[in-house]
Amino acid sequence: MRKNGSKAVVLLSGGMDSCVAAAIAAERYQLAMVHVGYGQRTEGRERRAFDDVCDFYGVNLRLATRLDHFRQIGGSALLDRSIPVPETGPGPEIPVTYVPFRNAHFLAVAVSWAEVIGATAVVIGAVAEDSSGYPDCRPEYYRAFAEVVRQGTRPGSGIEIHTPVIGMSKEEIVRKGMELGAPLAKTWSCYQYEDEACGVCDSCVLRLRAFARAGLVDPIPYRAGVAL
Amino acid sequence: MRKNGSKAVVLLSGGMDSCVAAAIAAERYQLAMVHVGYGQRTEGRERRAFDDVCDFYGVNLRLATRLDHFRQIGGSALLDRSIPVPETGPGPEIPVTYVPFRNAHFLAVAVSWAEVIGATAVVIGAVAEDSSGYPDCRPEYYRAFAEVVRQGTRPGSGIEIHTPVIGMSKEEIVRKGMELGAPLAKTWSCYQYEDEACGVCDSCVLRLRAFARAGLVDPIPYRAGVAL
């Protein structure tokens, strides 16, 4: 699978999109995987998914870290249990699950580590389809960040930002993951629960819809009554 | 002093440059101060300087946070006690005290907090004179980061990045601080020690030279034998 010896630092949340981004990166790069916990509700479950996906790809270069300041800063239903996670389906506005400027923190961790280990790529599973809700999921954002990386790392570090699934629909992400044998059964997307996915938060709704459109059944466990 | 009610989030390291940046920001903004510890050798002393400068300006909006992942990532004499801090004076190359892509982490914390509290400016005391050593101290870097902020925050957040001392020499920074009554005696710059400054690390050398050129004596304590 590995076409050359270059390393890529992959931001692996534990969810489906970053798992498929990792599967794509695995075709070309030696993988180094980062997980960033930030006090989100399902942090423990996502961390387990991270370890499972790393094991699947035989990744030894793992950095699992935790950012405590998001909890101090607040402002999101993913962090603040007094703000309920919506169960009415995604709308056109920025949802209460938005964590302000979140992906910049994740990219900063990945780029610093890439510079130290000599990786030439940082891979993030952002999806533009999500960008009505999250401004830091758009291609323009990643083009701007790539310029920050060019300006702010050692001359010659040559670190590129890759967003291999940014233009895909969720259905295409599922199909691509299946095609590449990505371990989607080991991933976790639910915003609310860690044992069985709720099936009704925005993240579950988008995931279930993607599997249904791809004509597949999502292999992870859902609460009783959720239509798969 | 406050010309309007806008808030600015100021990244205050505890050093001289960010203290003067805060003094400049205080002319126009209500201050919100952030300190980011990251496992650097003199973290405790810098944190005390942060509190002292916040007290001086009567700042209630304080966010003191800690990033543990820099220690995990390593790669800098400021983090790794097995790499000695150089005592031979600044040279033309990137020094071993360089922390890869450090300022992006600091800016990300400040921007996330600015978005939550409704601040319209983020202020950082970067100095371009340092940029031979640290690529993330150059104006181009901050222009690029400003674009990331425009793209990656809520539409209408209007958060600007200000670098009020970026074009100043260290001597000018000392003079400006004196002119504005900035509490330079409460700041700390030494990379090595927390009780008395070593006087020989790059940061001390630049600070001492700045005070000498401004015709002033640095009010902080130095080890015996350091020429003030």
Cβ neighbors of A19 (< 8 A, separation 6 or more) are A12, A53, A125, A177, A182, A183, A184, A186, A187
Q: What is the per-residue pLDDT for B4?
A: 61
Least confident among B84-93, B149-158, B195-204: B84-93
User: Quick check: A113 pLDDT over 50?
Assistant: yes
Residue contacts between A and B (CB atoms, under 8 Å): 138
Residue-wise pLDDT tens digits, A152-180: 998 889 999 999 999 999 999 999 999 99
What 3-state DSSP class applies to A66?
strand
pTM: 0.91
Q: What values do phi and psi take at B126, rounded to 5?
A: -70, 145
Record: contact B152-A101, CB cut-off 8 A: yes
Is B225 inside a domain boundary?
Answer: no
Band of the pLDDT at B99, cuts 50, 70, 90?
Answer: confident
Nearest CB partner across the interface for A73, out of B68, B105, B113? B113
Residue carrying the six token digits 């993240």:
A203
Is B101 inside a domain boundary?
Answer: yes
Q: What is the per-residue pLDDT for B133?
A: 74
Per-residue b/e over B82-111, b at no fewer than 16 CB within 10 Å? eeebbeeebeeeebebbbbbbbbbbbbbbb
Model-level ipTM above the cut of 0.85:
yes
Give chain A's mean pLDDT.
Answer: 91
Q: Which helix (DSSP H) or strand (DSSP E) does residue A73 occupy?
A: helix A69-73
Across A21-30, average pLDDT: 97
Cβ neighbors of B217 (< 8 A, separation 6 or more) are B211, B228
Residues of chain B with Cβ-Cβ distance to A149 below 8 Å are 101
DSSP B2-71: --SS-EEEEE--SSHHHHHHHHHHHTTSEEEEEEEE-S-TTHHHHHHHHHHHHHHHT---EEEEEB-HHH
Residue carrying the six token digits 């895909």:
A168
Q: Can you state the angle between helices A102-117 and A139-152, rounded to 10 degrees?
A: 40
Residues of chain A with Cβ-Cβ distance to B141 below 8 Å are 148, 151-152
Q: What is the per-residue pLDDT for A107?
A: 97
Q: What is the spatial order of strands in the sheet that A62-66 belongs to? A: A62-66, A30-37, A7-11, A121-124, A160-162
Share of chain A above pLDDT 90, in %: 70
Is B210 inside a domain boundary?
Answer: no
Into how many domains does chain B fold? 1
Residue carrying the six token digits 């909890």:
A71
Within 10 angstroms of residue B27's Cβ, the number of other Cβ atoms is 11
Q: What is the per-residue pLDDT for A1?
A: 42
Task: Identify residues of A whose CB sits under 8 angstroms from chain B CBs.
Answer: 63, 65-70, 72-75, 94, 98-105, 107-109, 111-113, 115-116, 135-136, 138, 140-141, 144-145, 147-155
User: Quick check: A132 pLDDT over 70?
Assistant: no
Within 10 angstroms of residue B123's Cβ, the number of other Cβ atoms is 30
Least confident among A151-165, B69-83, B113-127: B69-83
User: Quick check: B3 pLDDT over 60?
Assistant: no
Band of the pLDDT at B208, cuts 50, 70, 90?
Answer: very high
Is A127 inside a domain boundary?
Answer: yes
- The first and second tokens of residue B133, run together, are 């050593």
User: Quick check: A97 pLDDT over 80?
Assistant: no
**Residues linked to residue B179 through DSSP beta bridges, in sequence order:** none
Across A27-35, average pLDDT: 97
What is d(CA B78, CA B191) in angstroms, rounded to the nearest whole number?
Answer: 7
Better pLDDT: B69 or B7: B7
Record: contact A144-B147, CB cut-off 8 A: yes
Is B96 inside a domain boundary?
Answer: yes
Q: What is the per-residue pLDDT for B97?
A: 77
Is B178 inside a domain boundary?
Answer: no
User: Quick check: A89 pLDDT over 80?
Assistant: no
What is d(CA A125, CA B12) in angstroms, rounded to the nearest whole number?
Answer: 33
User: Quick check: A45 pLDDT over 80?
Assistant: yes
Q: What share of chain B is helix, strand, coil (3-state, %, to 5)?
A: 40, 10, 45
User: In which domain, by residue range, is B116 found?
Assistant: 7-169
Give chain B's mean pLDDT.
Answer: 91
DSSP A130-175: GGGT-GGGSHHHHHHHHHHHHHHS-TT--PEEE-TTTT--HHHHHH
Q: What is the per-residue pLDDT for B225?
A: 85
Is A18 inside a domain boundary?
Answer: yes
What is d(CA B53, CA B183) in angstroms, rounded to the nearest whole number?
Answer: 7
Nearest CB partner across the interface for B153, out of A73, A100, A151? A100
Per-residue b/e over A39-68, b at no fewer than 16 CB within 10 Å? bbbbbebbbebbbbbbebbebebebbbbbe
Q: What is the per-residue pLDDT for B107?
A: 97
Residue-wise pLDDT tens digits, B33-76: 999 998 888 889 999 999 999 999 999 999 999 988 888 888 77
Contact predicate A142/A128, CB 8 Å? no
CATH number, residue A23: 3.40.50.620
Q: What is the per-residue pLDDT for B2?
A: 45
**Residues linked to residue B34 through DSSP beta bridges, in sequence order:** B11, B63
Task: Give A119→chain B minimum CA distance, Å.
Answer: 13
Share of chain B above pLDDT 90, in %: 70
Better pLDDT: A148 or B85: A148
How many CA atoms, within 13 angstroms, populate the side-chain half-sphere of residue B64?
Answer: 15
